[in-house]
């Protein structure tokens, strides 16, 4: 099947939606982690448990939401997901207690995954066609990184604007008032993005019909599960996603180890977000000119080396340049892997029409770090305070990166003839 290629503005809207839906559950807590812990009266373990609830709901959502993407047009599922996620933001802005926060994260696990994830991946494959998968997924993830960076920058500006006293003297209540404005403005923007997607992110009717399956059968599921690429992608995505989850702690690392204040820590989180679009565009251009499967392997090696720099405890308050270099290396490897792990689906001979089903099955294993990574990081950070806790987290990253290297090498060996 070779459906008609969608327009550039289709990809732009897909990029905008692709990050907007995760702003409330993830990006704000990545950029403002110290403030989130303080405002919601949480420790790292409790925040990790909120992410775990999200992950448990997401696990089931991947499985059942995948086939849904093969039955309905992507824009409708994506728009509804954005609106429902934004509604959760208005609850988030009330600073609910720990138990209510866990329920909210479970709700977000449904809205961002069941209705959204597989449609986004399928729509990206459609845009990339047979020859531009690297460009499609590189630009998707890089563009999502740019959107996240802009949200992060906006968040820091809004937070600083509404903070009524100097950051070093701000009370918890003053921080909560400022952060509430960040949440409400973010929620409003997500609603607007949903409206744009509903009305403008359209495929031509013939293409929509070609990509639609009236019924998902068990034989089609077996067809997908017989592919070695599906099983290898489960491992590859799991290892890469652990790396992505660990980037959440860089702003906390800046505060705990580098002794940065809240705004400076948030700026480190935003700096990471700006690295992502640069890596995405670079990989997008390079991937379709080189071997995407080989690039995926190299991305894990880079992540592994960066993790070792941080795990050996070579960084302290006085080594600012080494700190920035280390997070740059880790982020480059992690973001490169994110650009590539779905881009190699075409090389792995996964049928386009069954993309939603395949993504659901792969994600069922690949995104389990949503369940265990948050609590694991929280446990390591709370049981070894300060720099040593962060070192343990990066040893965890080094281990998963090494496993990812092995799986990516196997994928390269199996499918290099398709490059």
pLDDT along the chain (419 residues), means of 10: 64 91 89 87 88 88 78 86 97 95 96 89 79 80 84 87 72 86 95 93 67 61 85 95 89 82 76 82 80 91 94 79 89 91 83 79 88 87 84 94 96 78
> Nearest-CA neighbor of 20 among 191, 140, 164?
191
What pLDDT is recorded for position 130?
Answer: 66
Q: What's the rounded Cα separation, in Å, for the pair 349 and 392?
A: 38
Burial class (CB in 10 A: 0-12, 13-18, 19+), 351: middle
Q: What's the rounded Cα separation, in Å, for the pair 90 and 180?
A: 9
Helix axes 262-287, 320-340, angle to 10 degrees: 40
Contact 188, 322 (CB under 8 A): no
Overall size of the chain counted in residues? 419
Q: What's the rounded Cα separation, in Å, for the pair 191 and 79?
A: 9
What pLDDT is recorded for position 1?
Answer: 46
Q: What's the rounded Cα separation, in Å, for the pair 382 and 389?
A: 7
What pLDDT is recorded for position 184?
Answer: 95
Query: 222: which residues sit within 8 A by CB, 6+ positions away?
Result: none
Q: Which residue has the tokens 């990545």?
A: 30
What pLDDT is recorded for position 385?
Answer: 78
> Nearest-CA neighbor of 201 among 70, 3, 12, 22?
12
Domain annotation for the chain: domains and CATH numbers: 8-418 (1.20.1250.20)
Contact 368, 55 (CB under 8 A): yes
Query: 60: which residues sit within 8 A by CB, 6+ positions away?
Result: none
């Amino acid at each position: 099947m070779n459906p008609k290629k969608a327009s550039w503005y289709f990809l732009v809207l897909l990029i905008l939606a692709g990050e907007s839906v995760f702003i409330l559950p993830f990006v704000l807590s990545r950029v403002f982690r110290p403030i989130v812990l303080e405002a919601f009266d949480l420790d790292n373990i409790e925040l990790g448990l909120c992410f775990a609830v999200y992950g448990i709901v997401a696990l089931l959502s991947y499985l059942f939401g995948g086939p849904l993407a093969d039955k309905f047009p992507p824009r409708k599922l994506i728009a509804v997901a954005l609106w429902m996620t934004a509604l959760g933001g208005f609850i988030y802005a009330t600073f609910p207690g720990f138990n209510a926060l866990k329920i909210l994260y479970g709700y977000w696990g449904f809205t961002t995954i069941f209705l959204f994830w597989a449609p986004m991946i399928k729509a990206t494959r459609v845009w990339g066609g047979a020859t531009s998968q690297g460009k499609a997924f590189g630009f998707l993830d890089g563009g999502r990184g740019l959107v996240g960076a802009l949200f992060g920058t906006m968040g820091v500006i809004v937070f600083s604007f509404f903070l009524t006293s100097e950051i070093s003297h701000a009370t918890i209540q003053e921080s909560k008032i400022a952060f509430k404005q960040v949440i409400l403005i973010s929620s409003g923007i997500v609603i607007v993005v949903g409206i744009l997607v509903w009305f403008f992110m359209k495929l031509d009717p013939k293409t929509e019909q070609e990509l639609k399956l009236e019924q998902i059968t068990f034989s089609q599921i077996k067809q997908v599960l017989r592919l070695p690429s599906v099983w290898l992608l489960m491992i590859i995505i799991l290892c890469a996603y652990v790396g992505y989850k660990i980037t959440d702690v860089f702003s906390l690392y800046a505060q705990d180890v580098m002794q940065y204040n809240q705004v400076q820590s948030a700026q480190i989180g935003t700096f990471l977000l700006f690295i992502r679009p640069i890596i995405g565009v670079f990989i997008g251009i390079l991937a379709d000119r080189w071997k995407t499967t080989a690039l995926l392997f190299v991305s894990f090696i880079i992540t592994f080396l960066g993790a070792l720099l941080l795990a050996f405890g070579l960084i302290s308050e006085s080594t600012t340049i080494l700190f920035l270099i280390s997070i740059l290396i880790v982020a480059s490897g992690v973001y490169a892997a994110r650009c590539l792990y779905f881009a190699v689906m075409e090389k792995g001979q996964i049928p386009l029409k069954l993309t939603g089903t395949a993504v659901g099955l792969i994600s069922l294993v690949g995104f389990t770090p949503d369940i265990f990574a948050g609590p694991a990081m929280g446990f390591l950070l709370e049981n070894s305070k300060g720099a040593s806790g962060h070192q343990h987290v990066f040893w965890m990253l080094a281990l998963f990166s090494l496993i990812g290297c092995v799986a990516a090498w196997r994928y390269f060996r199996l499918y290099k003839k398709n490059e």
